[in-house]
Structure 1
């Protein structure tokens, strides 16, 4: 869950509420929360109106370990496709080469996936699930703009894919899977 903002009286978003509930469920499955407390903490998270209320339900949890992986190559290709497991945070580094991440059949266990691109030259192509919501606001490009045409999700509940980082002299193409 993101840090509590300075204005802790600000209303909670559904995404923040979902993230908090996921953290509680994960802590329970790891045995960090006893059964007797779980119902009360879930109720607190579900009924939280402000960030301060939400923080109260998560206060007793140990700090969450970040699920982060880095894929890097100096040159050549970086390719992931098929049923691969996508971490919560994925960092992709390439100096000279092509990157192709196909998330269409990947196992995505998190409601939000952050992909950080650090690419000097070359091109990158990311295929996202059909029902994914893509956010490219955190991506900086030097030479060419990224190519992404947002589409309306075909059904609710798809993952949110946030793409950030820096692209040097290359192009990023993002497309939704057809099936």
Structure 2
């Protein structure tokens, strides 16, 4: 199995290649049902080539040769991000909260520069379903005795340049390379007795859909494995007769 680029993201096709080797190993008696289910679950949870590679390392491929899976580096889906960089002026240029709060989430267009201010209050900027006016957008956050939370989708590059005095900016999402064609989000500003948090996560709907898909595949694979085992037993009994 090739693992010369373990940090690269695995595709659905890569996971299916590994799952097929596991199915064959179960049918041949190389894995019992418990081992098969454990490895199959790990396969569908794997995110990178490095996580997939060890799953079938001790199993032979077709003809008894060591299993080798040639992972295909799928081209980046440029169209997905390109469709979200729409140009224009954006839905709004700023948000303000004084002893209160503000929220921007759902379908909205982030302008090239968005300024938000919170004094004894807080705000939430959720970019997971947003469009972008340009390939690079700047979010200027001023938090005085207040706080803000910026949520970005996976694939977006984040750069944090804010200054904090008795407060701070979250730098934990910096250094993650952006996907080809994805926008770059630059977070600047000033925090005094306050803070600006940054997190990267998928939407709840995407999380639920991925969970349903994994469970559906696991159920289908287990049912198929049971059928293969029964067919194998029937064939052996027929040969014995």
Match of 2:168 among 142, 145, 159: 145
Q: C-alpha separation between the residues in 2 aligned to 1:102 and 1:178? A: 11
Match of 2:147 among 101, 120, 123: 123
Match of 2:129 among 99, 102, 105: 105
Deviation at 1:177, TM superposition (A): 2.0
After TM superposition, the structure 1 = structure 2 runs for residues 48-127 of structure 1, keeping only pairs within 5 Å, are: 69-127=93-151
TM-score (structure 2 length as normaliser): 0.44
Q: C-alpha separation between the residues in 1 aligned to 2:181 and 2:89? A: 23
Q: C-alpha separation between the residues in 1 aligned to 2:177 and 2:199? A: 12
TM-score (structure 1 length as normaliser): 0.57
On the 8 A contact 1:119/1:168 being kept in 2, the answer is yes
Q: C-alpha separation between the residues in 1 aligned to 2:196 and 2:98? A: 18
Deviation at 1:66, TM superposition (A): 7.4
Between structures 1 and 2, the one with greater strand share: 1
CA RMSD after TM alignment: 2.2
Q: Does 1:169 align with 2:197?
A: no
Between structures 1 and 2, the one with greater helix share: 2
Deviation at 1:77, TM superposition (A): 0.9
Structure number with greater Rg is 2
Q: C-alpha separation between the residues in 2 aligned to 1:147 and 1:116? A: 14
- What corresponds to 1:29 in structure 2? none
Deviation at 1:97, TM superposition (A): 0.6
On the 8 A contact 1:148/1:175 being kept in 2, the answer is no
Deviation at 1:152, TM superposition (A): 2.7
Alpha-carbon spacing, 1:74–1:159, altered in 2? closer, same or farther (3 Å): same
Q: C-alpha separation between the residues in 2 aligned to 1:70 and 1:173? A: 18
On the 8 A contact 1:131/1:157 being kept in 2, the answer is no
Query: How big is each residue's C-alpha offset from its partner over 1:114-148, in whole Å with a ceiling of 9 and x where there is no partner?
Result: 111122111111001211111112x1111133223
In the alignment of these two chains, the number of paired residues is 115
- What corresponds to 1:157 in structure 2? 181
Runs of 5+ consecutive residues of structure 1 not aligned to the other structure: 1-25, 27-64
Runs of 5+ consecutive residues of structure 2 not aligned to the other structure: 1-86, 204-241
Deviation at 1:154, TM superposition (A): 6.4
Alpha-carbon spacing, 1:132–1:93, altered in 2? closer, same or farther (3 Å): same
